[in-house]
Amino acid sequence: MNYHKVSFLASYGLLKQIPPSSKIEIAFAGRSNVGKSSLINKLFNRKGLARVSAVPGKTATINFYDLDDTVHIVDLPGYGYAKVAKTEKVRWAELIEGYLNDESRSMELVVLLVDSRHPATRLDIDMIDYLIETEKPFIIALTKMDKLNKTERQNRLSSIADEIPCGGDITIVPFSAETGEGVEALREIIEEIASY
Ligand code: GTP
Ligand code: MG
């Protein structure tokens, strides 16, 4: 797989705008500001591919990227940003759920991003419950690992599995867009899915 062959395809703000597709899709989901866009940029070595912002709620659309004509990468809007208007929250929730519930698509993996600096939030746990209930394949990327010191890191890695439902059975990848930790692990997982 050529990770440099990545290109932006399209952004959609409404579910009905998303065209049907039979391509393998890997979706990235997580709380607003958790580092989804940064992770995507790091994974594909392209600084400006996905818009990064210190202001939460930047990605308000579903964004599709093509990876080497093989897999479509799907950047979902971040959930749980308090300052967004209720109507916007409803629209985002509809987009995320509507996309994930669309059985006609070949969505092969959800990479759920969880901030390593805090315990998983209620919304993270709701999302994990939803993914388990609907039998979606998913893994967790623990983001911003560079912000933890050695002790915090050890504590985080040992407690995360106890905080989340079925924690012991879920693949957890520590990740940092700063240091590149976790990039290889995620790429290997993507390669495996792409080679089905
Ligand atoms: P929304 O699109 O608003 O949902 O946010 P997002 O999840 O796409 O987050 P984004 O990648 O825009 O990053 C949010 C902020 O966190 C930015 O200020 C990033 O620079 C910072 N950030 C993201 N990943 C990392 C990381 O691995 N380490 C550090 N130190 N900062 C990070
Ligand atoms: Mg984003």
| Distance between Cα 194 and ligand 1 center (Å) | 26
Closest CA to ligand 1's atom 24? 35
Query: Residues lining ligand 1, CB < 6 A?
Result: 30, 32-38, 52-54, 56-59, 78, 143-144, 146-147, 176-178
The pLDDT score that the predictor gives to residue 68 is 93
For residue range 21-36, list pLDDT tens digits in order: 999 999 999 998 899 9
Distance CA 180, CA 169 (A): 25
Closest CA to ligand 1's atom 32? 144
The pLDDT score that the predictor gives to residue 180 is 97
Closest CA to ligand 1's atom 15? 54
What confidence tier does 53 reach under pLDDT thresholds 50, 70, 90? low
For residue range 117-166, list pLDDT tens digits in order: 999 998 899 999 999 999 999 999 999 999 999 999 999 999 999 999 88
CATH class of 6-194: alpha beta
Mean pLDDT score, 39-60: 78
For residue range 4-14, list pLDDT tens digits in order: 899 999 999 88
Within the chain, how many helices (H) and strands (E) appear?
5, 7
| Distance between Cα 50 and ligand 2 center (Å) | 7
User: In 3D, which of 72, 133, 55 has the Cα closest to residue 101?
Assistant: 133
Ligand nearest to the CA of 78: 1
Ordered by start, the domain boundaries in the chain are 6-194
The pLDDT score that the predictor gives to residue 87 is 79
Q: Ligand 1: which of 40, 44, 53 to mutate, judged by most atoms within 8 Å of the beta carbon?
A: 53
The pLDDT score that the predictor gives to residue 10 is 92
- Phi first, then psi, for residue 41 (nearest 5°) are -60, -40
Ligand nearest to the CA of 53: 1
Q: Answer whether residue 58 shows pLDDT above 70.
A: no
Mean pLDDT score, 86-100: 83
Q: Which residues have a Cβ under 8 Å from the Cβ of 85 and sit 6 or more positions away? A: none
What's the Cα-to-Cα distance from 132 to each of 33, 63, 135, rounded to whole Å? Answer: 24, 24, 5
Q: What is the interface pTM, i.e. ipTM, of the complex?
A: 0.98
